[in-house]
């Protein structure tokens, strides 16, 4: 149950806050800047209002999550610091002598309160209409900026940044080997004589060998009627079945089910997530979308523009790198978005007839990736004999050995000695953009793109955004929401100071 009326803090030590916490302390300023009552409104359906014992107010739990990203601390470290840090207790609306929560309560709040609220919020909505805590908090910071008469720039910079998963990806063989071991252990707890019936374990970590071993292991267990009704065994057997199926479908195994392999450059990959972001030249983030690591940047331009406008920011110019100069984005900018797109053309990024096959250009690696996510290993230009009205093509070459064992080879690889993918370097649709990018206006605007990289640096170096603190897309989305809320509030406070000085 949650109290509908907040109680006054009655303590003989309450005056310590006024004496020890300076007026310009960031937590005092955030407390004065933000009306957190919107959290009560957001979570009113997640608590009972007239039955049960009193719970920790959702505003206080939300503030704990904010502090977690503000100081980049683990749950236990944050709670330990909260016991002795008066500024934190003041921010949490606690008396100096009050006790703090148990660290496990933060995990429960994330999973049992925030997650159901987001699911209820999106029930029956189409994918593009769905929202989450991330969009709510960004809109709230825009609202706070407007309340303090901070004029928002009409120019937005778009880019993405990566966050590594808290887990490392394993080879398929090692992952299946680990889970098969758990199955055997669960069986031995009930019948050690099964050791003699189980197949011989592979000596290498080859995925195919361990996949075949696991199938035989499962069949052996299922033939034993005495093991069938034991839930502890069946749960692990069913999980191993799913892993074997995932391996056959080409899914990368990991303890983080949503993390995927992406590329920062041709020879540097990461395992985790991407956050696609829009930020004004005032350095306030106006939109963000969290995806798995393999997603291409360019496809999220339209959503970022629409989210920015939905948050209440009017824009007429978007600045981005070459990943955003695809044909779809140029058409959107001209026809629907009514914006100037400051994104330099890349000779490979143009729309072409083969785009629907699932090949995606990775601008960091400067290579195309096939539908299964494998990068080409080399490229070369094909002038096609300098034929009239025929533009040159860039040919990308893929590793045939990978193609031969790929589960998605049907309709893609035809058993030839080489596998190539060709793209026309230049198309007529981009002539207008090419003319624009040679103008002085374009050159001047493009110089501001560094700002978003600096913002990503702040998020990673000061607020722990380099690595996901929880597994799964929901955990990464929540971390992104709180981190952006923090950096936007810090930026608003700085803009207010600059405004007062002028």
Three-state helix/strand/coil letters over 304-340: HHHHHHHCCCCCCEEEECHHHCCHHHHHHHHHHCCCE
Tokens 């034929």, located at residue: 387
Q: Mean pLDDT in the chain? A: 87
Q: Evaluate whether 342 touches 442 at the Cβ level (below 8 Å).
A: yes
Beta bridge partners of 271: 261
| Residue 391 reports pLDDT greater than 80 | no
Q: Does residue 362 lie in a domain region?
A: yes
Residue 116 — pLDDT band, cuts 50, 70, 90? confident
pLDDT for position 199 = 92
Given CA atoms 476, 118, 329, 158 in this order, what sign does their dihedral have? negative
Average pLDDT, stretch 74-98? 93
| Residue 289 reports pLDDT greater than 90 | yes
pLDDT for position 7 = 61
Verify that 23 and 103 share a domain, yes or no.
yes
**Interatomic CA distance for residues 217 and 211, integer angstroms:** 10
Q: Does residue 256 lie in a domain region?
A: no
Verify that 383 and 289 share a domain, yes or no.
no
* pLDDT > 70: percent of the chain: 90
Question: In this structure, what CATH number is given to the domain that contains residue 156?
Answer: 3.30.420.10
More confident residue, 226 or 65: 65
What is the Rg, in whole angstroms, of the alpha carbon atoms belonging to the chain?
27
pLDDT for position 334 = 86
Smallest CA-to-CA distance from 320 within 344, 302, 304 is with: 344
Verify that 298 and 194 share a domain, yes or no.
no
pLDDT tens figures, 36-71: 999 988 888 777 777 777 788 899 999 999 999 999
Verify that 324 and 362 share a domain, yes or no.
no
Q: Evaluate whether 186 touches 232 at the Cβ level (below 8 Å).
A: yes
pLDDT for position 426 = 65
Verify that 114 and 27 share a domain, yes or no.
yes
Backbone phi, psi, residue 154, to 5°: -90, 5
| Residue 392 reports pLDDT greater than 80 | no
Q: Evaluate whether 423 touches 348 at the Cβ level (below 8 Å).
A: yes
Smallest CA-to-CA distance from 264 within 166, 376, 162 is with: 162
Verify that 337 and 266 share a domain, yes or no.
yes
Straight-line distance from the first to the last Cα atom of the chain, in angstroms, rounded to the nearest whole number: 48
| Residue 349 reports pLDDT greater than 50 | no
pLDDT tens figures, 471-481: 889 999 999 99
Verify that 193 and 299 share a domain, yes or no.
no
The whole domain housing 312 covers 152-167+261-345+429-502
Q: Does residue 181 lie in a domain region?
A: yes
How far CA 341 is from CA of 123, 275, 325, 331, in Å, comes to: 34, 20, 8, 10
Q: Does residue 8 lie in a domain region?
A: no
Q: Evaluate whether 253 touches 169 at the Cβ level (below 8 Å).
A: yes
pLDDT for position 361 = 82
Domain stops at, among 365, 391, 426: 426
| Residue 495 reports pLDDT greater than 90 | yes
- Name the domain count of the chain: 4
Q: Does residue 306 lie in a domain region?
A: yes
Average pLDDT, stretch 235-248? 83
Residue 254 — pLDDT band, cuts 50, 70, 90? low
Verify that 38 and 85 share a domain, yes or no.
yes
Domain stops at, among 190, 214, 248: 248
pLDDT for position 145 = 96
Verify that 92 and 236 share a domain, yes or no.
no
pLDDT tens figures, 31-42: 999 999 999 888
Verify that 113 and 221 share a domain, yes or no.
no
Average pLDDT, stretch 220-239? 87
**Interatomic CA distance for residues 208 and 176, integer angstroms:** 10
**Interatomic CA distance for residues 305 and 423, integer angstroms:** 28
Q: Does residue 1 lie in a domain region?
A: no
Output the pTM of the full model.
0.75
**Interatomic CA distance for residues 350 and 324, integer angstroms:** 10
**Interatomic CA distance for residues 260 and 15, integer angstroms:** 51
pLDDT for position 427 = 60
pLDDT for position 463 = 95
**Interatomic CA distance for residues 490 and 463, integer angstroms:** 12
Q: Does residue 7 lie in a domain region?
A: no
Buried b (16+ CB within 10 A) or exposed e, 9-40: eeeeeeeebeeebeeeebbbbbbebbebebbb
Q: Evaluate whether 78 touches 68 at the Cβ level (below 8 Å).
A: yes
3-state secondary structure of 360: strand
Domain stops at, among 426, 452, 480: 426
Helices within 464-501 (DSSP H only): 472-501
| Residue 423 reports pLDDT greater than 90 | no
Look at 104-108, 183-187, 420-424 and tell me which has the smallest mean pLDDT.
Answer: 420-424
| Residue 353 reports pLDDT greater than 60 | no
Verify that 25 and 113 share a domain, yes or no.
yes
Q: Does residue 32 lie in a domain region?
A: yes
**Interatomic CA distance for residues 445 and 184, integer angstroms:** 62
More confident residue, 257 or 61: 61
Verify that 360 and 402 share a domain, yes or no.
yes
More confident residue, 168 or 340: 340
Q: How many CB atoms lie within 10 A of CB 427?
A: 14
Helices within 335-430 (DSSP H only): 400-404
Buried b (16+ CB within 10 A) or exposed e, 451-465: bbeebbebbbebbbb
């Amino acid at each position: 149950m949650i109290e509908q009326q907040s109680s006054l803090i009655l303590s003989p030590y309450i005056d310590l806050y006024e004496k020890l916490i300076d007026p310009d302390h960031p937590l005092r300023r955030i407390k004065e800047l933000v009306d957190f009552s919107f959290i009560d409104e957001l979570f009113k359906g997640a608590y009972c209002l007239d039955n049960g014992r009193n719970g920790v107010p959702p505003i206080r739990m939300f503030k704990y999550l904010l502090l977690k990203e503000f100081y980049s601390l683990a749950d236990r470290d944050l709670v330990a610091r909260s016991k002795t840090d008066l500024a934190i207790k003041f921010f949490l609306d606690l008396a100096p002598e009050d006790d703090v929560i148990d660290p496990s309560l933060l995990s429960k709040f994330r999973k049992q309160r925030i997650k159901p609220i987001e699911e209820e919020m999106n029930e029956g909505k189409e994918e593009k209409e769905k929202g989450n805590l991330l969009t709510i908090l960004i809109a709230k910071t825009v609202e706070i900026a407007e309340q303090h008469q901070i004029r928002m720039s009409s120019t937005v910079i778009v880019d993405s940044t990566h966050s590594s998963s808290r887990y490392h990806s394993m080879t398929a063989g090692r992952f299946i080997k680990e889970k098969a071991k758990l199955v055997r252990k669960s069986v031995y707890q009930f019948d050690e004589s099964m050791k003699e019936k189980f197949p011989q374990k592979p000596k290498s970590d080859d995925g195919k060998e361990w996949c075949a071993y696991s199938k035989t292991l499962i069949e052996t267990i299922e033939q034993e009627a005495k093991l069938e009704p034991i839930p502890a065994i069946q749960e692990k057997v069913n999980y191993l079945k799913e892993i074997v199926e995932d391996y056959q479908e080409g899914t990368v195994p990991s303890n983080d089910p949503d993390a995927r392999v992406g590329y920062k450059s041709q020879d540097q990959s990461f395992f985790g997530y991407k956050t696609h972001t829009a930020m004004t030249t005032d350095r306030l983030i106006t939109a963000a979308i969290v995806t798995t690591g393999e997603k291409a940047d360019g496809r999220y331009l339209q959503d970022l523009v629409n989210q920015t406008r939905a948050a209440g920011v009017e824009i007429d110019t978007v600045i981005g790198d070459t990943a955003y100069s695809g044909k779809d984005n140029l058409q959107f900018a001209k026809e629907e978005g009514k914006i100037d797109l400051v994104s330099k053309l890349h000779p490979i990024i143009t729309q072409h007839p083969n785009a629907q096959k699932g090949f995606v250009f990775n601008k960091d690696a400067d290579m195309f990736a096939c539908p299964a996510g494998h990068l080409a290993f080399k490229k070369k230009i094909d002038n096609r004999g300098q034929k009239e009205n025929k533009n040159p093509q860039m040919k990308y070459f893929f590793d045939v050995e990978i193609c031969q064992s790929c589960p998605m080879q049907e309709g893609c690889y035809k058993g030839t000695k080489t596998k190539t993918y060709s793209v026309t370097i230049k198309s007529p649709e981009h002539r207008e953009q090419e003319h624009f990018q040679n103008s002085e206006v374009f050159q001047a605007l493009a110089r501001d793109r560094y700002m978003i990289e600096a913002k990503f640096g702040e998020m990673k170096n000061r607020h722990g955004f380099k690595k996901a603190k929880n597994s799964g897309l929901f955990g990464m989305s929540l971390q992104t929401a709180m981190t952006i809320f923090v950096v936007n509030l810090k930026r608003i406070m700085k803009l207010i100071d600059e405004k007062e000085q002028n």
